[in-house]
Amino acid sequence: MQRSNLLRAVSTGLALSAMIALPFAADGAAEATTLAAPTTPVSPATLTAPGGPGVTSTWTSGDKEGLGTSFAADPSTSKSHVWYTLGPGTMTEVFYPTADSPQVRDLQYIVADGSGYTSVEGTDTTQQVQLVDGQALEYRQVDTAKNGSYRITKTYATDPDRSSVLISTRFEQLTGAIALHLYVLYNPSLGNADADTGATAGGTLAASGSTAATDLRSSIGFSRLSTGYSGTASDGFSDLMANHTLTTLYDAASAPGNIVQTGEIPVGRDTSFTLSLGFGGTTTDAISVAAASDSAGFADRAAAYVAGWHGWFATLNAPPASVAGTPALLTQYDVALMTLRAHEDKTHPGAFVASLSTPWGQARTGAAPGYHAIWARDLYNTATALDAAGDHAAAVRALKYILNTQEVTTGTDAGLIPHNSMVNGASTGLTGIQFDEIADPAILADQLGVRDAATWAKIKLSADYLVAHGVNTPQERWEEQGGYSPATIAAEIAGLVSASSIALANGDTGRFGTYLATADNWQASVESWTVTHSGDIATAHYERINRTGAPDENQTITDGNGWLNLDARDEIDPSFLELTRLGIKPADDPVIVASVGVVDSILKVNTPSGPMWHRYSEDGYGEFADGTPFGGSSTGHSTGRAWPVLTGERGEYELESAQLARAAGDASSAATHTAAAKADLAAMAASANAGYMIPEQVWDTADAAGFTEGEATDSAAPLAWADAQFVRLAISISTPAVAGQPANVETPKSVAARYANLVTVTFVETASTTPGDYVYVVGDGPALGNWDTAKAIRLSPAGYPAWSVRVGLTGGTSAKFKFFTRGADGVVHWQLAPDTVKAVPSSGSVTFTGTF
């Protein structure tokens, strides 16, 4: 059975045998079989559906082929609060009234001949998805029966003046003398639960749940209607699969449950009509909305829908040269931008959800939020991309959302940004704190030039929180491990430098100095905390994370996905490139370059779409080899697949390297790095599906289990973070190189300027120590801890008895310093010699030595 068939069987709880449809023979008649004539349907006015509450439902695959919502320049004034998504051949989750509230599981058509043939649109057709307009999220699905008997063409739009989805449909019977019948199968999930009721009175399909109601109607009416419970005898799907017609019509499903609504649409061999799905707080409201959209007609509503998106593009910057000359890349760029903008909630402006999908939703039950929640990290990425493209107002709304809705403003946790939140700021139930997310609003505010007093009042809370809590994050950006992460530390440093510029603009010289001193010390210490010189990998490199800030120690990291324990020294992650992207380390730093090589040898995979990278060694966040979804049960273990967003981050690194090569007069190397960045951009675009949705993960082995190498898995597509990365990389490639300015549009200029042209000083101390003791260096100036032993920099024992560490210091200055040892008992033993004073050259590198 194909994966899509299995998805439908799991979703409805039907036996697999019920999925088998009888194909047409060449002349259009059903192939040889003997079936009873259809039962005359029972009057719908006399029956209430039995079997409630029905089977437990699931959501649908996270791999979406399209999505749409009406554009509003000011989301708070929008009259349309509905978002639709598309899966293969079907409409999948529909959100209302907020972008975190799915109210519909799916809607699709079923075709039957009344005697021996039933065909399900989502499983029994070959499917195409088309973007109707390159600058509007208007999608068309063309689904043709595998036996060639019919074709269904559907075009989607939402009504800009009300909360409804309109589906313009053309049904064509292509072969066969026996007339085919068309049914719509609608599966609501109102209130995000299996607790709906429904009725068919009034010639439409009305449903009601705890938080919303819907009404589904056809512009040419329905000839028969039924509402029942999924997976039971009253389910219209079950009836059609077994009998090839609706044999019993149920007027209502009165007890809350997992209802399914079915309507026959009167069609001939070539019939066009429109479905209108209206939403409201009550059934009365939903009926009024659907009726108004139906009355206006699809052509009128679709024209208004498209005009809204076209108007937005007229306000944006011209597309960058990196995509402007290539139609496919230009369309991908435009869709990425629209996708980002479409993820903003309209009740809570600035609340951009991470994705309008639930990863592996076909295996998920209940009200889990999936990715339709707000992470400050993803929001930062979305905001910087929209700002770079010209939508500054949207980026500012995102910043204000973090500060005014997510940030804790009182008590001991003042300044904390939660793991994530629903659009109204409520908890999702995930509680892990990630220090990079606490740093993000300061970085974003600095980049956007937002430095007013009200913003500063909030920014200083998060910056103070970082200073007070240090660099040992409870979770890193992959949300699985706590400790010393180079990526998280990079964000914290950038956040404090950014906050210092806002402090200065608001006259707070005390915090200005504190933030910079802390950032400088952490910048000088990050290599000491996170670069290992031991383990099974011979090359000194950045670790993914370690528990104590002692990277040369053997520390066991238990994979958060539960299938392998690794020595922290051997767990690799390309996330250390945040150090270069945020302007804290140069791209040509020897340890950065070496770490890139290590990452490529372990995590890089070349797919038909182009180069991709895994998140970290032995990642388990992905499908099993046989395609079983993450969290399922199968032979072996699940495997995290390759992430296109990491390809985009590598592209930014290539641009940073190109800039340095250009400054050094190496035009050939600069051209090579620039070409690599362009190839990374093309790879991201190639990973997108036919609807231009860039996925979270791509299948990274030979085609198997229904997946295609280099294309989306069932995790999530689109991922707003990936779309944002694509947009920024496209713009950065086309931004003229300016000496002394960052190579990438989202690199904070204040951070890059502060740490540009530091001189690498290698401190080397020869000392024999007892087990458990470490050698440290401390000295004058913030980088060396201002003589505070708690801020001293630990040296690596990899060359024992020679201890060493590399530190970036300002060129053309002098450094006064001293070594000491400290053991587990915390007792400090100072080097007996007097303080050492050395001149730091204006450029290059230098080694300072000492002996106990």
Task: Say which of 476, 543, 652, 765 is annotated catalytic.
Answer: 476
Annotated catalytic, 476? yes
Contact (Cβ atoms closer than 8 angstroms) between residue 431 and residue 383: no
Residue 92, φ and ψ in degrees, nearest 5: -105, -140
Tokens of 612: 């991709």
Residue 376 belongs to what H/E stretch?
helix 376-389
Contact (Cβ atoms closer than 8 angstroms) between residue 341 and residue 351: no
- Residues with Cβ within 8 Å of 457's Cβ and at least 6 positions away in sequence, in order, are none
Radius of gyration, alpha carbons of the chain: 30
Q: How far is CA 184 from CA 79, 108, 171, in A?
A: 27, 6, 12
User: Minimal CA–CA distance to 730: which of 179, 334, 164?
Assistant: 334
Task: Say which of 172, 479, 553, 709 is annotated catalytic.
Answer: 479
Strands 531-532 and 270-280: unpaired
Distance CA 556, CA 552 (A): 12
Our CA angle for 314, 159, 58, nearest 5°, is 110
- Residues with Cβ within 8 Å of 601's Cβ and at least 6 positions away in sequence, in order, are none
Tokens of 67: 């999505």
Strands 565-567 and 796-799: unpaired
Tokens of 778: 């401390």
Annotated catalytic, 553? no
Q: Helices H, strands E: what count in the chain?
A: 18, 32
Distance CA 397, CA 383 (A): 9
Q: CA 583: distance to chain centroid?
A: 24
- Residues with Cβ within 8 Å of 297's Cβ and at least 6 positions away in sequence, in order, are 219, 274
Contact (Cβ atoms closer than 8 angstroms) between residue 766 and residue 803: yes
Q: How far is CA 529 from CA 489, 545, 590, 795, in A?
A: 10, 9, 17, 9
The set of catalytic residues is 476, 479
